[in-house]
Amino acid sequence: MSSTPKILLVDDNPADANLTCEVLATSERQTQVSTVGDGEQALQFLHRSGQFADAVRPDLIILDLNLPRKDGRAVLAEVKADPELNELPVVIFTTSHAPRDIARCYELGANSYVSKPGNLGQFFSAVRSIENFWFGFASLPD
């Protein structure tokens, strides 16, 4: 991946989305983040349809679970069922610690599941770790 890594951030809470973007912005590594607030927009973005006709294909999807219009699990299921999209790594990033949610996401094909910590320092670490691992160590499809 030679160009700037692109992230699709799907989160309906502007405060959380803002925080995530803050962490990414303060990193030494440059990333390009597109944020959408609901599940339907997320899929439109990935299919480059409607208002997202000019969208760029992301390298990583950071996906919250509780979203309006179409919830995170539905988005996950659709992405992983679509041969065009299923190779995209999806990191679930959500407040839920419920084992049921975690198990369900893995069943649907989530690549990784990270719980949003309540504490700022840990939140920073979590986002930083996600960024470092997926763009620093893992190899992603072009």
Contact status: 77 vs another protein (CB under 8 A)? no
Asked whether position 68 contacts another protein by CB under 8 A, the answer is no
Footprint on residues 95-124 left by another protein (CB under 8 A): 95, 97, 99, 102-103, 106-107, 109, 111-116, 118-121, 123
For position 34 contacting another protein by CB under 8 A, the verdict is: no
Q: Which of 63, 55, 19 is nearest to 38 (CA)?
A: 63
Token output for 91: 């990191």
Sequence-distant (≥ 6) Cβ neighbours of residue 35 within 8 angstroms: 9, 10, 11, 17, 21
Q: How is the beta sheet containing 60-63 ordered, strand by strand?
A: 32-36, 6-10, 60-63, 90-94, 112-115
Considering beta carbons, is residue 53 or 83 the nearer one to another protein?
83
Q: Are 37 and 64 in contact (CB under 8 A)?
A: no
Least gap, CB of 69 to another protein (angstroms): 19
The residue ranges of DSSP E strands in 53-131, in sequence order, are 60-63, 90-94, 112-115
Of residues 50 and 106, the one with the C-beta less far from another protein: 106
Give 112's DSSP letter: E
Among 19, 33, 74, 77, binds another protein (CB under 8 A): 19
Q: How far is the CB of 34 from another protein (least distance, A)?
A: 21
Contact footprint for another protein (CB under 8 A):
13, 15-16, 19, 22, 83, 86-87, 89, 95, 97, 99, 102-103, 106-107, 109, 111-116, 118-121, 123, 126, 129-130, 132-134, 136-142
